[in-house]
């Protein structure tokens, strides 16, 4: 019975923090044929879960490295930009295999960048119990799968959802970068400054992405 409480907390963490991961999964597969979308979501999610487990094992060592939050946030901004401007074009001829592979790679790569908060929360709740960590991550698979398919259907019906997804990714990237301790040595970041900086990051990302999206 003692395992149930931390396991329930781990599932709650995954439920609360996996929304942006589901957005990435949906956005990365939105340009594929219908028969490939489910494959991209399934294999991308499975790969993301495997790499997240590996990431969890080494996260305590990674956190000792400087600039890890800053670098991860910048890379995540690039993912948000790419997903926003990657408009499907009838003139673009890409092999189906390459498209499916690219979607899977984006899903895995973005999940690795965005799962740092999830991993830290899970490790803290599990008190370094790797069995609990692995069980919690595996049980998060249905959350990511069903949420991503729901968001994918929304994006197919409402094109504006793509901008919302990009904004969510940019916001998450900003939060990650602002956690970098090196920044706190030069900038006194309080709640107001953090909010202004996050809004600025989202605004710049959407503005640049929308401009390039329009003229592609």
At 121-153, the pLDDT tens digits run 676 677 667 788 777 777 777 777 776 667 767
At 100-127, the pLDDT tens digits run 888 888 888 877 777 766 776 676 677 6
Cα of first residue to Cα of last residue in the chain, in angstroms, is 57
Average pLDDT over residues 70-77: 83
CB 212 within 8 A of CB 85: yes
Count other C-beta atoms under 10 Å from residue 134's C-beta.
17
Q: What is the pLDDT of residue 92?
A: 38
Q: What is the pLDDT of residue 214?
A: 77
Please, which residues have CB within 8 angstroms of residue 120's CB and are 6 or more apart in sequence? 59, 63
Count other C-beta atoms under 10 Å from residue 193's C-beta.
12
The two three-digit tokens of residue 86, written as one number? 């990657």
CB 146 within 8 A of CB 18: no
Q: What is the pLDDT of residue 94?
A: 31
For residue 196, is pLDDT > 80?
yes
Count other C-beta atoms under 10 Å from residue 190's C-beta.
8
Q: What is the pLDDT of residue 95?
A: 36
Q: Quote the domain boundaries for residue 103.
A: 4-214
Tokens 């900038």 found at:
187
Q: How far is it, in rounded angstroms, from Cα 49 to Cα 129?
A: 17
- Please, what is the Cα angle at 48 between 202 and 24, to 5 degrees? 30
How many domains is the chain partitioned into structurally? 1
For residue 166, is pLDDT > 80?
yes
Average pLDDT over residues 182-187: 78
Average pLDDT over residues 191-211: 92
For residue 96, is pLDDT > 60?
no
At 11-23, the pLDDT tens digits run 776 665 666 677 7
At 13-66, the pLDDT tens digits run 666 566 667 777 777 787 788 778 888 888 888 888 888 788 777 765 665 677
Full 3-state SS string of the chain: CCCHHHHHHHHHHHHHHCHHHHHHHHHHCCCCCHHHHHHHHHHHHHHHHHHHHHHHHHHHHHCCCCCHHHHHHHHHHHHHHHHHHCCCCCCCCCCHHHHHHHHHHHHHHHHHHHCHHHHHHHHHHHCCCHHHHHHHHHHCHHHHHHHHHHHHHHHHHCCCHHHHHHHHHHHHHHHHHHCCHHHHHHCCCCHHHHHHHHHHHHHHHHHHHHHHHHCC
Q: How far is it, in rounded angstroms, from Cα 180 to Cα 6?
A: 28
Q: What is the pLDDT of residue 25?
A: 76
Q: What is the pLDDT of residue 68?
A: 77
Average pLDDT over residues 167-195: 83
């Amino acid at each position: 019975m003692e395992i149930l409480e931390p396991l329930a907390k781990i599932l709650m963490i995954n439920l609360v923090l996996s929304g942006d991961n589901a957005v990435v999964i949906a956005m990365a597969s939105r340009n594929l044929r219908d028969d490939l979308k489910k494959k991209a979501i399934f294999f991308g999610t499975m790969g993301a879960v495997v790499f997240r487990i590996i990431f969890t094992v080494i996260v305590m060592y990674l956190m000792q490295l400087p600039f890890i939050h800053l670098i991860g946030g910048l890379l995540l901004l690039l993912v948000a930009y790419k997903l926003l401007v990657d408009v499907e074009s009838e003139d673009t001829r890409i092999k189906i295999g390459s498209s499916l592979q690219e979607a899977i790679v984006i899903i895995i790569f973005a999940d690795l960048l965005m799962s740092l908060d999830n991993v830290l929360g899970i490790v803290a709740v599990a008190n370094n119990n790797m069995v609990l960590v692995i069980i919690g991550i595996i049980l998060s698979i249905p959350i990511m799968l069903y949420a991503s398919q729901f968001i994918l259907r929304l994006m197919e019906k409402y094109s504006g959802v793509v901008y919302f997804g990009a904004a969510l990714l940019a916001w998450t990237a900003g939060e990650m970068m602002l956690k970098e301790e090196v920044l706190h040595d030069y900038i006194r970041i309080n709640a107001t400054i953090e909010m202004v900086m996050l809004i600025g990051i989202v605004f710049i990302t959407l503005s640049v992405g929308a401009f390039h999206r329009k003229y592609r």
